[in-house]
Amino acid sequence: MGDFIYKSAIELAEFVRNRKATSTEIVKDHLEQIKRHNSTLNAVVILVEDEALKTAARCDAETAQGKFRGPLHGVPMTVKEQYWVKGTKSTLNFSRLKDWTATEDAVIVDRLRKAGAVILGKTNVSRNLADYQVSGDIYRECKNPYNLAFSPGGSSGGASAALASGMIPIEVGCDFGGSIRIPSNYCGLWGMKPTEDTVPRHGMVPIPEGNKGFALHMAQAGPMARNPEDLELVWKTILGPHKSDRNTPRIEWRKADCKALGDYKVAWVDGWPGYETGIQTKLVIRNFIDQLTQNNCITENTGPGDNLHERSLSLYMRLFTQLVSQDVPRFIRPFMKMEIKNGFLKGMEKFHWEFNKGFKDSFIHYSETMGIRAGIVNEWEQYFEKFDFLVCPMSIGPAYKRCKTGTPIHYDEKEHTYIKYAWPYVACFNASGHPGMNLPLGIGEDGLPVGVQVIGPYWSEPELIQFAKLISKFTSGFVKPESY
């Protein structure tokens, strides 16, 4: 392992700026780490080595002249495979898109480049971005660095595996149903889904040829890192309006005024009605709350009323199917419904009505969904009028063993329906659009990372990151897996 592996992005940028190292040295070190471990993990699926070295050399030439592109000048990173990177494929690990090549950079990729980042390549994803494991039609299955038999989470599983194994210091994922938070949780990372519509979506997914319009809700780009300071740096780089996306407004962000944990009032739950969690998850959450209490934080064990969590899941199921079926020909939709019901969503019969209604091609149904969503967002915001944050579970337990999608998952000597292991704990906040972050809390009893999910009100990311920084001072945080 080289001198720069497992250094933070901020440290690496300082090395370059202070001329203690060159970008070329740092990039080569990370390329070697990828070559050393990627054949086992299958985290990086596209490597642009020559281009990365040329970019690093240009950064070094600029450094010699006292010129710096931005806070990430000379720092290597990768991006999730779905994002457009000019001249590279974005396939979603799906045969239907196997030849789709980006003609330009996504907005967030362009912003990262302008901040000085050196793009090394792209990371592995679940087929069509729809799983908490990482396998598909094109790329080999991705594995968890802490135990190769387990999932790294999905759909940003390549990103989480690459970060945890030291291949890169920072990444950008996308969260449509927990796809940043779950991989971060399963690989012991800091990962944040920002408030919806705060990061431009241009270049987020390949657009089918001839497509004239494409509604996109619930999905949000966000940062992944091994510490909250790097997370903040990437978030500040990618957020904000752009001419390509008029839905991204200028926002008056909540200020990070709280200087100590005692300044916060935090609600918490260790499960949801009808969705209990494992013994270890309950213990992790309660120990975390005890730590907050010992640090003078006000905590209260209470969730929202009126079955809001369950209604949020119902909304997600309805809107999810409306979105994924919108560009699919009518004669293919029955096959698509069958594939989804027998795969990733197998076992969610209670939302059968919402699932079917989502496949109906009707503007009335869509507008009705938007009306329901507005009401649910408002109810969550009313809940957050009493609390700064909500601490809650990320899934029933830590990462699960890789298996056929849709098959039962065994944990705590119990059999769990595949989709119920993680989806009910994260999708509710995609439905509502609220920001959420995984806080890593070290390694659990089975050698796998454990952590908690923290949700905030709309536009509370500065406070959420400040909370994470305070937490990182008294928790284990990221713990490097052995052999990397």
The per-residue pLDDT string of the chain (484 residues; one tens digit each, 9 = 90 and over) reads: 679 999 999 999 999 999 999 999 999 999 999 999 999 999 999 999 999 999 999 999 999 999 999 999 999 999 999 999 999 999 999 998 999 999 999 999 999 999 999 999 999 999 999 999 999 999 999 999 999 999 999 999 999 999 999 999 999 999 999 999 999 999 999 999 999 999 999 999 987 666 655 678 999 999 999 999 999 999 999 999 998 877 888 898 988 887 899 999 999 999 999 999 999 999 999 999 999 999 999 999 999 999 999 999 999 999 988 888 777 767 667 777 777 777 778 877 778 778 777 777 677 888 999 999 999 999 999 999 999 999 999 999 999 999 999 999 999 999 999 999 999 999 999 999 999 999 999 999 999 999 999 999 999 999 999 999 999 998 999 999 998 9
Assess whether 39 carries a catalytic annotation.
no
User: What radius of gyration do the chain's Cα atoms show?
Assistant: 21
Q: What is the pLDDT of residue 373?
A: 97
End-to-end Cα distance, the chain: 8
Around Cβ 328, how many Cβ atoms within 10 Å?
15
Find out whether the peptide bond into 160 is cis, omega within 30 degrees of 0. no
Buried (b) or exposed (e) across 312-322, using 16+ Cβ within 10 A?
bbbbbbbbbbb
Distance CA 2, CA 103 (A): 35
Of the listed 80, 122, 193, 337, which one is catalytic? Answer: 80
Q: Is 243 helix (H, G, I), strand (E, B) or coil?
A: coil
Of the listed 151, 155, 160, 184, which one is catalytic? Answer: 155
* Location of structure tokens 């409306």: 322
Around Cβ 87, how many Cβ atoms within 10 Å?
12
* Location of structure tokens 């457009």: 84
Which 8-state DSSP code applies to residue 446?
T
Question: Domains of the chain (ranges plus CATH)?
Answer: 9-472 (3.90.1300.10)
Q: What is the pLDDT of residue 212?
A: 59
Assess whether 80 carries a catalytic annotation.
yes
Of the listed 126, 156, 179, 312, which one is catalytic? Answer: 179
Residues comprising the chain, all counted: 484
Assess whether 90 carries a catalytic annotation.
no
Angle (nearest 5°) at CA 437 between 84 and 120:
30
Cβ pair 203, 42 in contact under 8 A? no
Q: Which helix (H) or strand (E) holds 160?
A: helix 157-164
